[in-house]
Structure 1
Amino acid sequence: MKILSGILYCGLAMLVASIAGCTHGFEEINTDPNKMQVGDLQPYGMFEPLLYGMANQQTYYAYYWTDELAQFTVSSLTAQERHRYKITDIQWGSLWNNYAGKGLNATHMYELGVKFGDKGCQAVALTLKVYALSNLTDLFGDIPYSEAYRQREGIDRPRFDTQKEVYEQMFAELETANELYAQQPTFERASLDIMYGGDMKLWRKFNNSLYLRLLCRVSGRPEMKAGEKIAAMLKDSSKYPLIASNTENATIHNTGVDPYFGRFRPADMTKMNFTSSAYKIAKQFIAMTTIADGADSEQDPRLTTWAERDGDDWKGATAGCELADQQVDVKDCALLNYKVLVRDDAPNFLMDYSEIRFIMAEAALKGWIDGGEAQARVYYESAVKASCQKWAELERYSDVKAPIDDNAIAKLLAGRLAGWDSHTDKERLIAEQKYLSLFWVGLEAYHELRRTSWPELTIGRGALYNDWHLPQRMGYPSESVGSNPDNVNAALSNMGGVNNMLTPVWWSYKAINGTFREVRPDNAIN
């Protein structure tokens, strides 16, 4: 019976997502009178496909989008040119529809929780809604939020809220969720939750950790007073409990069993499909995790869990290389570690303890919280250690055994790759090690790269499709532009007036500073 129910619930939620997928925008979602309305479901019918669908989507986006844009990997397939910034309107639409659809499903889950008086369901729905729509706004900039999903009220062409307004509303909903969690509600279908087993205390920690992440995201905008709020949260752990160890990470522990979304999405891919014929490790990644210097060589202990060599040395591929040079350039380059990353029961990572500690390190270094540089170092080193220990749990699946133990971690923290004393620019060190720790965590490394402008990327000669600049956002898909032109044009005017990937999002380093750290090739224009 449970299997049958799971199939039914998944199918109905997919129906909702398909409505979003057909319309390419918020303005027409859930308008077909011939389709079953989500309001006819029980609230927990929304939860399982929403959580696992989003988790698998995030890992797929890490593989398909973040790895290429953030220069973790380089695709050798001529049809996949994201590392050259050849990104189409169809791809913009796919990203838009997927996150908008997840936001729709979470909104309905919340409404159903209210209808049935289920506070646990309401709280989890708000957390997942903000998780989905934070990714949407961070990819596109201004989006509908206050008027989104309100077609039944007659709003079929919603206003696009400014990104500042979106963030204020997300913070308010996370506060509401935190208050609901504080009432210690019961999650009635705990067996459906293979992330936290229905433990509302852990969901509350994830909710507040997400809040901390998003405050850090907008911390470059003084009007948001993010530093003050971060300090207040860190001083009041009883009101704002946070993820406090790797055992509390927001991780989907896939069972490897169908149906449901209990199997890791790339699990059906062969090694040929996943790595050797397609995605190679980028030079940027190799440079940040190895130092080839004879007897004084260093290597990040996580590297052999993340990747495997295709020869005697760690060789990386050129991100954005010219198409004519590609097959020579990728020869003998390192590969993603298939046996670690692709298994039926491989986990999906939404948020880790290490990210909390990196945020605390940045907060101490910038004076938002007490302790200064000395305390920032403590937080930083615990962040790196937490990231290493997370991957140490997966090292056993690797063909090459390179234990990530206390000695290896201590060596990393004392060396030139990640040692505090080896770097004069502590803010850069924190940002770059945080970037590495976000490998395989959805779109986070790409978001953080645009926020901090670290690491400084080298743009390849073939990355001409965005004028040799890292894409700062995705463009609104054409169908959304066509169906809601006045509000889309108002949003574009607010953000800079052009619907392209050069226009920076409001919280980004480029929007705030007017520039971005990147080494552009000699053939680049302007």
Structure 2
Amino acid sequence: MKKIKHNILAFIAAATLYNCTAEFEEINTDPNRLETISPASLLNPVLYGLTNHNSYSAWHHRTAHFMQGIVPYPSNDALGYHRYWVTDAIGQTMWNNHYRWLKNIDEMEKASVTAGDVNYQAIALTLKAWSFANLTDVFGDIPFEEALKGDEGIVKPKFQRQQVIYKAVLEYLEQANSLYDTSKTLIYAPDLLYGERITAVANWQKLTNSLHLRMLLRLSDVQSAESIAKINTILNNPATYPVFESSADDAILINTGIAPNTTPWPRIQDYAAGDKRLSTFFVDQLLEWNDPRLPFWATQATNLQKEPIGYKGIDSGYSFESNIDYTPSAPNDNTAKAPMKNIIMTYAEIEFIKAELAFKGLIAGDAETHFKKGTEAAMAIWNIDMPADYFSNEKTAYNNTLEQIMLQKYFALYFTDNQQWLEYNRTGYPDLPKHPDLFNDGKMPVRYPYPQDVKRQNTENYLDAVNNMGGPDDINTRVWWDIK
């Protein structure tokens, strides 16, 4: 009976994606199918739910504002994330969304073990590692071992230290890599990420190890020797630890626009919605580079007569709208139109990881080569060909600095959940201009405060977590790996 209840709860949550379809009605009225749930039945709703949230909420409404991609305009509100004014509500949807889908990932893992399917078990472990990393990277210490156990009566889970969570996350990825059997195909329905490819299992294994590299790099300052050693083990043993080798390996979920796989913006006008513009930093950098991504990402600004005046942004954290005598460039809504790309991780990110490590002398290889490959792959994400003379521009020519590597990586991480912001917190790059009217003394927020619901409903464990992190529970208390 307990098992039936467990599966029902998980399946109802997983079926949310389909709640307006005939399939949902059939599943919801057929208890026999609840007993024969397959791992694949949970995989697609998890992928859809997490990636859509990450594009819509984590990037579009939070990171893009912190990182001077999107600037609210016009705005009657003197506050806002682009001015570093942050409330406890900033992380509520991310907390709820990730823990909700983590419960389904947990069910998927159990179902795969029951079915004896090692590939789905490996995928579940990968998604679990990715999701917990997303949470701990922005909050710090979070419920972990006692999380997801409400059906066992644990409604006030203890928080665990970020270093404990990261250790487990890396172990999940190591275990997942060891489980994959690439001689077999995925035996259930095609997944939303890699579809019916005969190489789907191999693609998933590359994603597992690529995420492993991302997380090891994040720890490379706080656990330098251990992290760099493992990075070299992965990169020097591609047969055992395959990672992304080309843009064909990119982990990008495509929203087709056909129900139930719709975009987070069913009305495309809500993407820019008349009140979102692009920053001066964002636009001017691409103009300096003569970068072909600019017209794909941006509309042209217009003067007071509604005539186009070229690409022109607006200062992030600007003071008064009355000083602005033009309508700034807006996000081009083709980025959010179906088929829309929800990015988990790309080959471009791998090349920029290698470029940074080679620049620092931590791996073998040529930093410039990886930098150029990463830049080209970053354009390929958006089906844009890099001009043959792109690096002939003195502004784009490789100058052997970490700042330049991270600036191109900033654009490579466009639309990729919180990664721009997390990389900025790790490295301090890119060098973002700071408007004098910023809140928080002009300091970039480095974490999300815990949601109000957590403070009210799990007060004792919440207070322990804040104390363990060195408090207070605010946007300036650094997470464990952030020691710059």
TM over 0.5: yes
Select 1:416's aligned residue among 390, 394, 405.
Answer: 394
1:377 matches 2:373: no
Select 2:460's aligned residue among 486, 501, 516.
Answer: 486
Name which of structure 1's ranges 64-73 and 87-96 shifts more when overlaid on structure 2.
87-96
Q: Given that residues 74 and 279 in structure 1 are in contact (C-alpha distance below 8 angstroms), is that contact kept between their aligned partners in structure 2? A: yes
Read off the aligned partner of 2:396 and give its amino acid letter: A
TM-score by length of 1: 0.80
Report deviation, 1:350: 1.2
C-alpha spacing 1:135/1:9, structure 2 compared with 1 (3 Å): closer
1:203 matches 2:201: no
Read off the aligned partner of 2:432 and give its amino acid letter: L
Select 1:326's aligned residue among 289, 301, 321.
Answer: 321
Q: Deviations over 1:300-337 (max 9, x none)?
A: 12211111212323211111123xx1364483211111
Counterpart residue number, 1:193? 192
Paired residues, number: 454
For 1:9 and 1:99, locate their aligned partners in 2 and report how far apart those are by CA, in whole Å.
14
Counterpart residue number, 1:302? 293
C-alpha spacing 1:176/1:329, structure 2 compared with 1 (3 Å): farther
For 2:160 and 2:211, locate their aligned partners in 1 and report how far apart those are by CA, in whole Å.
21
Q: Given that residues 316 and 330 in structure 1 are in contact (C-alpha distance below 8 angstroms), is that contact kept between their aligned partners in structure 2? A: no
- State the superposition RMSD in angstroms: 2.8
Q: Given that residues 65 and 81 in structure 2 are in contact (C-alpha distance below 8 angstroms), is that contact kept between their aligned partners in structure 1? A: yes
Q: Given that residues 250 and 346 in structure 2 are in contact (C-alpha distance below 8 angstroms), is that contact kept between their aligned partners in structure 1? A: yes
Report deviation, 1:452: 0.9
Q: Deviations over 1:411-455 (max 9, x none)?
A: 3323233211xx35x111111111111111121111111111101
Select 1:388's aligned residue among 371, 379, 386.
Answer: 379
C-alpha spacing 1:103/1:416, structure 2 compared with 1 (3 Å): farther
1:49-68 aligned at under 5 Å gives the runs 49-60=45-56, 61-68=58-65
Select 1:290's aligned residue among 287, 291, 314.
Answer: 287
Q: Given that residues 264 and 347 in structure 1 are in contact (C-alpha distance below 8 angstroms), is that contact kept between their aligned partners in structure 2? A: no
C-alpha spacing 1:39/1:87, structure 2 compared with 1 (3 Å): farther
Select 2:350's aligned residue among 341, 353, 356.
Answer: 356
Report deviation, 1:215: 0.7
Q: Given that residues 119 and 185 in structure 1 are in contact (C-alpha distance below 8 angstroms), is that contact kept between their aligned partners in structure 2? A: no
Q: Given that residues 446 and 475 in structure 2 are in contact (C-alpha distance below 8 angstroms), is that contact kept between their aligned partners in structure 1? A: yes
Report deviation, 1:230: 0.7
Report deviation, 1:173: 0.4
Select 1:335's aligned residue among 310, 330, 333.
Answer: 330
Q: Deviations over 1:457-513 (max 9, x none)?
A: 22333332x3432111000112212222232222212222101111112222xxx23
For 1:149 and 1:282, locate their aligned partners in 2 and report how far apart those are by CA, in whole Å.
40
C-alpha spacing 1:225/1:39, structure 2 compared with 1 (3 Å): farther
Q: Percent identity?
A: 30
Q: Given that residues 280 and 314 in structure 2 are in contact (C-alpha distance below 8 angstroms), is that contact kept between their aligned partners in structure 1? A: yes
C-alpha spacing 1:486/1:427, structure 2 compared with 1 (3 Å): same
Report deviation, 1:190: 3.5
For 1:472 and 1:309, locate their aligned partners in 2 and report how far apart those are by CA, in whole Å.
32
Counterpart residue number, 1:239? 240
Name which of structure 1's ranges 41-50 and 131-140 shifts more when overlaid on structure 2.
41-50
Q: Given that residues 378 and 411 in structure 2 are in contact (C-alpha distance below 8 angstroms), is that contact kept between their aligned partners in structure 1? A: no
Read off the aligned partner of 2:403 and give its amino acid letter: R
Counterpart residue number, 2:341? 347
For 1:361 and 1:64, locate their aligned partners in 2 and report how far apart those are by CA, in whole Å.
29
C-alpha spacing 1:264/1:10, structure 2 compared with 1 (3 Å): farther
For 1:200 and 1:330, locate their aligned partners in 2 and report how far apart those are by CA, in whole Å.
54
Q: Secondary structure of the equivalent of 1:458?
A: coil
C-alpha spacing 1:81/1:319, structure 2 compared with 1 (3 Å): same
Q: Secondary structure of the equivalent of 2:389?
A: helix
Q: Given that residues 174 and 208 in structure 1 are in contact (C-alpha distance below 8 angstroms), is that contact kept between their aligned partners in structure 2? A: yes
Select 2:428's aligned residue among 453, 468, 471.
Answer: 453
Q: Given that residues 147 and 159 in structure 1 are in contact (C-alpha distance below 8 angstroms), is that contact kept between their aligned partners in structure 2? A: yes
Select 2:69's aligned residue among 67, 72, 82.
Answer: 72
C-alpha spacing 1:418/1:182, structure 2 compared with 1 (3 Å): farther
C-alpha spacing 1:91/1:313, structure 2 compared with 1 (3 Å): same
Unaligned runs of 5+ in 2: 1-8, 20-33, 302-307
TM-score by length of 2: 0.87
For 2:12 and 2:149, locate their aligned partners in 1 and report how far apart those are by CA, in whole Å.
23
Read off the aligned partner of 1:486 and give its amino acid letter: E
Q: Deviations over 1:31-73 (max 9, x none)?
A: xxxxxxx988443221111111112112113222121111111
Counterpart residue number, 2:26? none
Read off the aligned partner of 2:421 and give its amino acid letter: Y
C-alpha spacing 1:269/1:367, structure 2 compared with 1 (3 Å): same
Counterpart residue number, 2:31? none
C-alpha spacing 1:329/1:313, structure 2 compared with 1 (3 Å): same
Counterpart residue number, 1:463? 438
C-alpha spacing 1:417/1:344, structure 2 compared with 1 (3 Å): same
Counterpart residue number, 2:173? 174
Q: Given that residues 112 and 120 in structure 2 are in contact (C-alpha distance below 8 angstroms), is that contact kept between their aligned partners in structure 1? A: yes
Counterpart residue number, 1:365? 359
Read off the aligned partner of 1:314 and give its amino acid letter: Y
Q: Given that residues 352 and 371 in structure 2 are in contact (C-alpha distance below 8 angstroms), is that contact kept between their aligned partners in structure 1? A: yes
For 2:379 and 2:256, locate their aligned partners in 1 and report how far apart those are by CA, in whole Å.
24
C-alpha spacing 1:386/1:484, structure 2 compared with 1 (3 Å): same
Counterpart residue number, 2:156? 157
Unaligned runs of 5+ in 1: 1-7, 19-37, 292-297, 396-403, 514-526
Select 1:44's aligned residue among 20, 23, 40.
Answer: 40
Read off the aligned partner of 1:281 and give its amino acid letter: L
Counterpart residue number, 1:26? none
1:497 matches 2:475: no
For 1:497 and 1:228, locate their aligned partners in 2 and report how far apart those are by CA, in whole Å.
32
Read off the aligned partner of 1:53 and give its amino acid letter: G
Report deviation, 1:232: 0.8
1:427-446 aligned at under 5 Å gives the runs 427-446=402-421
C-alpha spacing 1:263/1:195, structure 2 compared with 1 (3 Å): farther
For 1:347 and 1:183, locate their aligned partners in 2 and report how far apart those are by CA, in whole Å.
26
